[in-house]
Structure 1
Amino acid sequence: MEYHRQHFAACTARTGGRTGGQNGGVTPQPKTCRLWWAAPADASPALLDLLDPAEQQRHARFRLRADRDRYLVAHALARLAVARETGCGPAEVSFTLRCRACERRTEPRPRAEPHGKPVPDGAAAGLEISYSHSGERVLLALARGVALGADVERISAERDTDGLADYCLTPAERRDLERVPAERRTEGFFGYWARKEALLKATGDGISGGLAEVGVSGPFDTAAVVAWDSARAPEHAWLTDLDAGPGYRAALAALSAHPLAIETRDAAELLAPYGPKAAPGRC
């Protein structure tokens, strides 16, 4: 559901949170967002050749194989999807990492490695991507001409969700979560988190942009942005939940005044040419 910063309250009263276009109320043709779902088990040694040197170094620093595999599949899949979209080879795909928080700093802040939102450049300029991984899920979103954010979260009762709620939820969200039946409260928390992180990925701020500054609808209600308490809030934002299967919550956000048309693609088609699953210890 869309968020409009300046006229949100009035638009909600008239249209239930949705507004028409500026050409006589006719909504323009929606932009398309393509989604790919994959799994850490799709990792293979051949995929490593698709990563640039900085990504290969980062991949090697992960201590656990599961973390290495999630990272490898997400980053390789991004290059393959962008290459398919632009008609070039994966080796020709490059990304510039941009962190809005760092760009706003008046004094340089040392950082051990490049970080931020991956922005396709070169032949892929104009495309937008966002990837996320958690547990057995790897998610990639791709669109043209609209900023995206995607997030998937494994629902884990091992996390200190009570402590995290104080950090990332608004007072209204905490009250709503307390009203959720106890057996669904953990899932509700991760529903909030996935929505908020997707929105902050779309802006390029990431979670440092302030999870508690963004207010969204109840975790089991239709996804919507209901408040954004920041001078940096975008003019428009659209938000929807994604079905990641049992045990997961996922969301997609776009800085758009209108919904996106979502197409789900087969990640196996892109990954299969790069060989069978790796033997233990290879990736």
Structure 2
Amino acid sequence: MSDWQWIPTHTVTPIAPQTLHIWRLPLRSEGTNHWWDLLSRDEQQRAQRFVRSQDQDKYVQVRGTLRCLLGQYLHIPGQTLCFDYGDYGKPQLISSCNSLNLQFNVSHSHELAVIAVTQTTAVGIDIEQVNPQARYIDISQRFFATAEHETLLQQPVEEQCRTFFQLWTRKEACVKAMGGSIAHALDQINVAQGLHQASIAIEMQEEPHELFLHNLFPDPNFAGAVATQAPLQHLHLWQWASISSD
């Protein structure tokens, strides 16, 4: 959808309950040194374990930008933030440095990353570059729910690849909003319903509540989705504008 407008800025605006902020971050393989000192020692050590320098650069850029953004929301230095991790590795701020009860989630694919931020409600976000070489019919048949696979097969052949990645990112976003792992929940969520609607409430199998799912269009070559555990009234789209040269 070309009508999605991402507003470039490196300054956050205050966030309110029932509001979702999504930040789009183009990833570059250079100019990440200014982020290094924002990272914790554990994050620096993790960055150094990447074999390829471009993967290290992307990790540093995403993690540094995340700290910068969250620090601005909370009005504290980004390097002072402390994170905890759920059973499946989803990061969250510890309560002592999270006066606004911010919830966030991050996804990146190839040269693009997105960061979703809410207040109070849990959020999951996912993007994937659409890859026509993927064996998407085989993957769908093996891992998707029957209704999802049938929805994929019902699409025109020329739209099946993008539909597959839209279904995949919708499923991943829902799982991340629940704090889980997609490997443990592939058959617990049917994200084919309302596939082409901007947003929809998804009934969770074996769960007492709904998820609120929104399609996301981060780039013409990408599919994406974001899910929250509570309904939202406002969505704001920002593109991170680098401050490295300031």
Contact 1:51 1:76 in 2 (8 A): yes
Contact 2:202 2:213 in 1 (8 A): no
In the alignment, is residue 40 of structure 1 matched against residue 16 of structure 2?
no
Q: Residue deviations 1:56-83, cap 9 Å, x none? A: 2222222234432332222111111110
Q: Which one has the largest radius of gyration?
A: 1
RMSD: 2.2
Ranges in structure 2 where 5+ consecutive residues have no aligned partner: 1-15
Distance, in Å, in 2 between the alignment partners of 1:30 and 1:119 is: 17
Residue 263 of structure 1 corresponds to which residue in structure 2?
Answer: 236
In the alignment, is residue 118 of structure 1 matched against residue 85 of structure 2?
no
1:246 corresponds to which of 200, 220, 223: 220
Ranges in structure 1 where 5+ consecutive residues have no aligned partner: 1-28, 102-115, 277-283
Q: Secondary structure of 2:168's match?
A: helix
Structure 2 letter corresponding to 1:50: L
Matched residue pairs, number? 227
Q: Residue deviations 1:7-62, cap 9 Å, x none? A: xxxxxxxxxxxxxxxxxxxxxx9611111111111751121222212222222222
Q: What pairs up with 1:1-283 in 2 under 5 angstroms?
A: 31-41=18-28, 43-99=31-87, 116-121=89-94, 122-125=96-99, 126-217=101-192, 220-222=195-197, 223-229=199-205, 231=206, 233=207, 235-256=209-230, 258-268=231-241, 271-272=242-243, 274-275=244-245
Per the normalisation by structure 1, the TM-score is: 0.73
- The alpha carbon displacement at 1:275 in A equals 4.5
- The alpha carbon displacement at 1:94 in A equals 1.3
Q: Secondary structure of 2:187's match?
A: helix
Contact 1:216 1:224 in 2 (8 A): no
Distance, in Å, in 2 between the alignment partners of 1:135 and 1:219 is: 28
Decide which structure has greater helix share.
1
Contact 2:123 2:226 in 1 (8 A): yes
Q: Residue deviations 1:184-228, cap 9 Å, x none? A: 111111100111111111110031331222101358521435543
Instruction: Name the % identity.
Output: 24
